[in-house]
Chains A and B, each alone.
Chain A
Amino acid sequence: MLLDIRNLNVSYGGIKALRDVSISFEGKSIVSIIGANGAGKTTLLNAVMNIQPVVSGEVYFNGEKITGLPAHQLAAKGISLVPEGRMLFTHLTVLDNLVLGAYAFMKQLGKKDIEKRLGHVYELFPILKERTTQLAGTLSGGQQQMLAIGRALMSEPQLLMLDEPSMGLAPLLVKDILNVIKRLNEEGVSIFLIEQNARAALKLSHHAFVLESGVLVKSGSGAELLSDERVKKAYLGG
C-alpha cells in the first residue's frame, strides 16, 4: 500500500471531525474523497500531513508509520500537499515559491536538478515562466492555484494530495487543472484528491470515497459512485 490510513480519529475541541476513518490505496492511482462542506475532508489531509493533531489511529506511507512525524519531514518522504486556500508565500516571487518547494531536498539537489524540475513545472503551466519575478500574492486566482501545484511538484512527490484545487476558479481553468492532474498521474504520480466538484472528481478517479460528518459511508470505483443513486442524489444534483 502507498498510503494506509488506519482508524483515524480527529477532534476539534470536543467535536469529532473524523471517526475511525480507514483508507488505503496502491500507488499510481487517482483516489478522491467527496463530501459536503464540513464533512472532514480537509481535516483528513491535514491529519495525514501532521499539521492537524490526531486523537488516535495511524497513517502509513510505503509501509512506514508517519503519524507523529513533524510535518516538515514528510516532504522529504515523498508526500506533497497543495493545501486549502493555496497558502502561497505571497511576499516572495513566483520563482522563490517554486524553489522553496524543493526545500526538503536542497542538500541533495544541484542547480541543474532544480532547473530540470522548474522546466517540468513551466511545461505544465507555461504562464508561470512569464511571471517568475512577480510576487506570488499579485497573481490571479488561477495562476495562484497553478503556482501552488507547481510548488508542490518541485519536491517530485510520489503522492500528491490536493485540497479543492478547483475552488474559486472559472470552469475553463478547472478543466485545465484537472487535465494537469490526469497528466501527472500518467507520469506516475499518485493523486489523492479532495474536490467539491464531485462529478469531475469521480470521472477522473480510479477509486473514490464518500465522507459524511467525519465517517466514511461509501467507497467504490469512480464509475460505480457516479451511477450510485444515493451519491447522485446527494452530490451530483440528482
Chain B
Amino acid sequence: MFTVFLQFLFSGLTTGAVYALVGLGFNIIYNATSIINLAQGEFVVVGGLLMWLFSESFKLPFLVSAVLTILVSGLLALLMERLTIKPLPKTDLLLMIMITVAVSILLRGLLMFKFGKNPYVYPPFTEGEPFIIAGAVIQQQTLWVIGITFSCIILIYLFFNRTLIGKAMRACAVNPTAAMLVGIDVEKMIMLSFVLSAMVGAIGGIAVTPISLMEYDKGPMLAVKGFCAAIMGGLGRGRGSVAGGFIIGILESMTAGYIHSGLKDAVALLILLAILFFKPAGIFGSKTALQMRRF
C-alpha cells in the first residue's frame, strides 16, 4: 500500500518539477514586465525536441547538445521579444499577453512542421539501475530532473536577489518609469527576461524528455499547469511557484493513481479555480502584491 503511494509520489515529483520550472519561467517575465508569457510551455517542448535533434539526429556529445539547445531556445525567445513584444505599446498589457498566445500557436506549428506528430525520446543522462526505496522505483533521471530544478531555482533566486542586474530587472517591474530615470535600459531588461525564462523552460524540457517523452503539442498543457503553479504560489513569487508546481504535480499523480487517470488534467484547473475564488493572492502571495497586479 505504502509502496504504491511512494511510487505515485515519485512520479508526481517528476512532473511537479517541470511545472515548477514553467511556473518559474512565468514569474521571471512577469516580474520584469507584468506580462504573462503564454508561450512558456512551448519552450519546454523546444528544449526537449532540440535536444533530441542535436544529440540523436546530429549525434553531438551530450553537453554540447544541451548547451546548444539552451542557447538556441534563448535566441528564439530573443526573436520573439524583438519581433512581437517590443513593437507594441507598453501600455496595453492585455494585447501583449494575446500576442504571446499567437506566438505559442506559431511555435507549435513550426515544431509540427519540423518534427511531425510523433513523440521523441533520448536516453537518460546516466545509465544504470533505478533506486528502490521501500519497494518503490525511482529512476536516476527523476533525480536529475529534481536536482536540475532545484539548481535552477537557487540560481534564479540568487540572480534576482543578489545581483545588481537582477534587482534592476525587478525594479523595471515595479516601476518602469522610475527604472528609466535611474538609468536602467528597460527594453533590454524585458528582452533579457524573455531569454532567461525560455532558457529555464528549455532546461526543463531537456531534463524531462527521457522520462515523459516530448511531442510538438505538449506546450499548452504545460503552460496551463505552470500557470496554475505560479498563481497558486502568488504570481511573482519564485519560491511560491516552485511549491505550487510540486503540489500540483503530486496531486495530479495521486488523482491518476487512486481515482482515474482521465481526471489528472482537471486537478490543476480545479486548484486554479479554488485559488482564484478563495485566495486570489495565492498561498504565498501578499495582498499588496495582488493590488499591484495590472490586470
Contacts and interface: CB of A to CB of B under 8 A. Distances in A.
Interface string B186-197: 100000000000
B185 A91 contact: no
Question: Which of A76, A92, A137 is the most central at the interface, judged by chain B CB atoms within 10 Å of its CB?
Answer: A92
Contact of B175 (A70, A87, A105, A152): A87
A83 B174 CA distance: 15
Interface string B275-295: 000000000000011001000
Interface string B157-177: 000000010011011011101
B76 interface: no
A90 B221 CA distance: 34
Contacts of B181: 49, 51, 71-72, 75, 80-81, 83, 87, 152
B101 interface: no
A103 B183 contact: yes
A89 B177 contact: no
B270 interface: no
A108 to B, nearest CB: 12
Contact of A100 (B171, B186, B288, B292): B171
Q: Which size bracket describes the interface of B in this complex?
A: 20 to 34
Contacts of A70: 180, 185
A103 B174 contact: no
Most chain B beta-carbon neighbours within 10 Å: one of A70, A100, A104, A137:
A100
Contact of A89 (B164, B171, B180, B186): B171
Given A103-B164, A103-B168, A89 B183 contact: no
Contacts, number: 77
Contacts of A137: 288
A192 to B, nearest CB: 14
Contact of B184 (A72, A88, A90, A92): A72
Contacts of B179: 72, 89, 100
B158 to A, nearest CB: 15
Contact of A92 (B174, B177, B292): B174
B63 interface: no
B178 A87 contact: yes
A207 interface: no
A100 B182 contact: yes
A101 interface: yes
A88 to B, nearest CB: 7
A212 B185 CA distance: 34
Interface string A108-146: 000000000000000000000000000001000000000
B240 to A, nearest CB: 14
B177 A83 contact: yes
B175 A106 contact: no
B184 A103 contact: yes
A158 interface: no
Interface in A144-194: 151-152, 154-155
B185 A88 contact: no
Contacts of A103: 164, 168, 182-184
7 contacts: A51-B177, A71-B180, A72-B180, A72-B185, A92-B174, A99-B167, A155-B182
A101 B175 contact: no
B290 to A, nearest CB: 13
B164 A99 contact: yes
Nearest to B167: A96
A16 to B, nearest CB: 21
Q: Which of A71, A90, A99, A152 has the most CB of B within 10 A?
A: A71
A72 B167 contact: no
B182 A151 contact: yes
